[in-house]
Chain A
Amino acid sequence: MIEFKNVSKTFNAKEGDVHAVKDVNLSIPDGKIYGIVGYSGAGKSTIIRMLNGLEFPTTGSVTINGSEISSLKGKDLRNQRLKIGMVFQHFNLLWSRTVLENIEFPLEIAKVSKNERKEKAQKLIELVGLEGRENAYPSELSGGQKQRVGIARALANDPEILLSDEATSALDPQTTDEVLDLMVDINKKLNLTVVVITHEMHVIRKICDHVAVLDAGKIVEEGPVLDVFKNPQQAITKRFVNQETSSASLDDTTVVVSELLDKYPNGLIIRLTFHGDQAKLPIVSEMLRQFPDVDLSIIEGNIHQTQEGALGSLYIQLLSDHHDSLDGAIEYFNTMRVETEVIKRG
């Protein structure tokens, strides 16, 4: 269990004080993948770096399983750091060492014997799928392979916690997904707590159980990923969710909506949000059977997989001469536990 209690961090810069983190309270349960999402400059990095003492809070406390990391120094801090692995955006591998030697590096720091180091590193190479590349230098690897080395290195000392500082932000989409799959795999296999910071909602959606949204140093929203995606409260969260759930850009959708309204001024445009098993049921066609006078055109739709099941959204226009039927249709969706949001009523 990781706990942030009333954590604030102020940097003294020449231009005046910068409040990077403001009164953050968080508890991160063991064995989960916890995501912190925010735009650059929101304070994500500062927060994650407090977990291994690369930064210290100005006020408040950060505790891991009861021991207060924010008050550790010297040898105690170094011993605590051995139990926390970290993966970096720019990999931060030693170019002078081979893949195998890079993975052995944290074991050398922990003073593990040479034979044991070799054996352990070899196992980790298999875990991250880099067999045959043991003796390659980082400069000979692709970005995705480098990050695999980064992950293996972070796992070398059997950490309790894995920190991911924008680990996929320098990778292409295909490689990002491979690395994310690996992280989920590791979380399940080794049952370790993973803290992920990112500016990409895609990462949160794909691997996280919980998410916190950070804006200007404050946590503005927090909860299970599916809840936050289904029902974002804050404007910034909505923006993040839209970034991910609408495949077409929001502008495109708006253009189509206004065109449809021009053509059929009486139409009702709604957004449906499906989650879990509902996404697999023929709810829309069932609605049409129940209200035969309703016509329907689809504006935009998509479906995404999250750690807790599928999540789909669908923009549709409903046309009918009877207002009652339209209201009935919405009512029907609601009873089927599909969330509806009326975008425009003609």
Chain B
Amino acid sequence: MGNTTGFASYFKLSNVNWPDMGSATWETIWMTVVSIIVVAILGALLGLLLFETSSSNSILVKILNWVVAAFVNVFRSIPFIILIVLLLPATQVIMGTIIGPSAALPSLIISAAPFYARLVELAFHEIDHGVIEAAEAMGATRWQIIFKVLLPESMPALVSGITVTSISLIGYTAMAGAIGAGGLGNLAYLDGFQASNNAVTLVATVIIVLIVFVFQYLGDFAVKHIDKR
């Protein structure tokens, strides 16, 4: 068993079970990637809904905007660790289990999608209104404006938004891991903290930091490539 005292305990790499570490890494990446894909789609839809309903005179549209905004604000305010617990029964119904990486998905998505929705709405509002008006003056339909103006013109902001969101998602997966969702957080908590094996904690941390760096780099690279302003 590991030694809990002294700096040297961090570097007892012989205590690390590398195959476990590898599969935990894959679980973390899997949870992050799957939830990012869903969050990107769901968040974009919610953000679009918020944007499109934000400046209407119709009372029904105003109510819709209010409801969506309230939903977004409420779920954005709930601390993630509480949200997981709150969603346990729902997770059981949706995923059929409350243990393992796939059980973490509902709470990851529900916490990150409203956050991303706000970023999407903000990105759409940043588009020069004159450009949207020019498209209207050309006879564009609402859908043409969405697909040919809103999305391409806000793409750098949408991508940097998803980068920020995915980095906080990586943090959330670790938290979810602590209560049984698998991944590096789970490993660091069970094998690192509870078994007093500091080397495992350190290695898991380094891997998570590396994953964050890779996501950040990919995001920045993509933004640089698509931003022609």
Contact = CB atoms under 8 A, between A and B. Distances in A.
Partners in one complex: yes
B131 A93 contact: yes
A304 B173 CA distance: 74
B148 interface: yes
A54 interface: yes
Contacts of B141: 78, 109
Given A82-B139, A139-B228, A94 B133 contact: no
Contacts of A158: none
A108 interface: yes
Contacts of B152: 94, 96-97
A54 B136 CA distance: 8
B134 A137 contact: no
Interface residues of A, number: 27
A110 B153 CA distance: 20
A88 B134 contact: yes
A82 B138 contact: yes
Interface string B125-165: 00010110111111111001000110011010000000000
Contact of A92 (B134, B139, B229): B134
A157 B140 CA distance: 13
Contacts of A264: none
Given A92-B133, A96-B228, A137-B228, A105 B138 contact: yes
Interface string A74-107: 0001111110101010101111110000000110
A86 B134 contact: yes
A81 B139 contact: yes
B140 A109 contact: yes
A52 interface: yes
A106 B134 CA distance: 10
Interface string A231-246: 0000000000000000
B149 A94 contact: yes
A299 B178 CA distance: 90
B73 to A, nearest CB: 27
A109 B130 contact: no
Contact of A109 (B131, B135, B153): B135
Interface in A106-124: 106, 108-110
Given A86-B134, A105-B148, A109-B144, A95 B139 contact: no
Nearest to B138: A106
Interface residues of B, number: 21
Contact of B139 (A88, A109, A137): A109
Nearest to B147: A108
A248 to B, nearest CB: 37
A101 B78 CA distance: 44
A110 B148 contact: no
A269 to B, nearest CB: 48
Contacts of A106: 138-139
A90 B139 contact: no
A40 B84 CA distance: 57
Contact of B133 (A54, A80, A110): A54
Given A93-B131, A94-B131, A105-B148, A81 B137 contact: yes
Given A52-B137, A93-B131, A94-B131, A108 B148 contact: yes
Contacts of B140: 78, 109
Contacts of B229: 95, 139
Contacts of A109: 135, 138-141, 144, 148
A79 B228 contact: no
Given A78-B141, A81-B139, A96 B155 contact: yes
B139 A110 contact: yes
A77 B139 CA distance: 7
Interface string A178-197: 00000000000000000000
A88 B133 CA distance: 10
Of B137, B149, B153, chain A has the most CB atoms within 10 Å of the CB of B137
A86 B130 CA distance: 12
Closest 7 CB pairs of A and B: A81-B139, A92-B134, A78-B139, A137-B228, A92-B130, A82-B139, A106-B138
18 contacts: A52-B137, A54-B133, A78-B140, A81-B137, A81-B138, A82-B139, A92-B128, A92-B130, A94-B148, A94-B149, A97-B152, A105-B138, A105-B148, A106-B139, A108-B148, A109-B138, A109-B139, A109-B140
Given A97-B152, A109-B138, 4 more contacts: A81-B139, A95-B229, A109-B135, A138-B228
Interface of B: 128, 130-131, 133-141, 144, 148-149, 152-153, 155, 226, 228-229
